[in-house]
Amino acid sequence: MSFNIEELFKEMKTGEVLLAYKGSITAELITNVLGVVETKLNHVIDKSSTKKKIYNILVESLQNLYHHVDDLPDSTNSMDVHFGIFVIAKDGEEYNIRTGNFIKNDKIKKLKERFEKIKSLSKEELKELYKFVLNNQMFSDKGGGGLGLIDIARRTDGRVDYIFNEYDSNYSFFRMNVTI
């Protein structure tokens, strides 16, 4: 199957879409989106703890996206610089935060292993892993040893899914779906 970004974007926009974006992922954009979404959540959700959970996960998801986008090398493609997608959608009583970005194929194996490990852990094990990484791992400006993903898994009881779609022999499109 050939790669079609519009198709993938469409697939990500299922449910009652509160916000959908496709384009350059910049710090300013994230700041603006967080502001807009916070206002929106205040209107649609009463329970403060639910609002906070969604907002927290959105911050982690978008900042993860911001830090981990790989740019496609050829300037001939039509993608914006630092291209990424994100969608916030409501499905029944649940909220889904979906992100998508290009990633080098040689990173896939490690990322898959990290997801599978995190998804296999119990709540208590996730808590211990979080504390271990927090206390022991070196951090860079990009974040800290997958702490963002562990944090998301903790807050959602592991309801984090992912899929890779091959773009070419060097790159794939990585999509993540977090359910709250």
Partner 1 sequence: MDSISIEGTPKTPTVSLDAGTGIVEIKGRSIPENSIEFYRPIVEWLEDYSSGPQKLTTVNIQLEYFNTSSSKCILDVFKKLEGIKKARNEVVINWYYEEDDEDMLEAGEDYESIIRIPFKMIEIVD
Rounded CA separation 18/97 (Å): 10
Report, in Å, the least distance between residue 137 CB and partner 1.
8
Using rule CB under 8 A, residue 59 touches partner 1: yes
Is the CB of 49 or the CB of 169 nearer to partner 1? 49
Q: Which of residues 127-166 bind partner 1 (CB under 8 A)?
A: 127, 130-131, 134-135, 139, 141, 143-144, 147-148, 150-151, 155
What DSSP string runs through 115-152?
HHHHHHS-HHHHHHHHHHHHHHS--BTTBSTTHHHHHH
Collapsed DSSP state (helix, strand, coil) of residue 180: coil
Rounded CA separation 127/153 (Å): 10
Give the one residue of 2, 39, 48, 76 binding partner 1; rule: CB under 8 A: 48
Using rule CB under 8 A, residue 33 touches partner 1: no
Whether the CB-CB separation of 175 and 12 falls below 8 Å is answered with yes
Give the one residue of 66, 83, 102, 167 binding partner 1; rule: CB under 8 A: 66
Using rule CB under 8 A, residue 67 touches partner 1: yes
Cα dihedral 85, 91, 94, 99, rounded to 10, equals: -10
Report, in Å, the least distance between residue 50 CB and partner 1.
9
Using rule CB under 8 A, residue 56 touches partner 1: yes
Total site size for partner 1, rule CB under 8 A: 31
**145 CB-side CA count, 13 A:** 11
Whether the CB-CB separation of 71 and 102 falls below 8 Å is answered with yes
Using rule CB under 8 A, residue 52 touches partner 1: yes
Positions that interact with partner 1 (CB under 8 A) = 27, 30-31, 34-35, 47-49, 52-53, 55-56, 59-60, 63, 66-67, 127, 130-131, 134-135, 139, 141, 143-144, 147-148, 150-151, 155
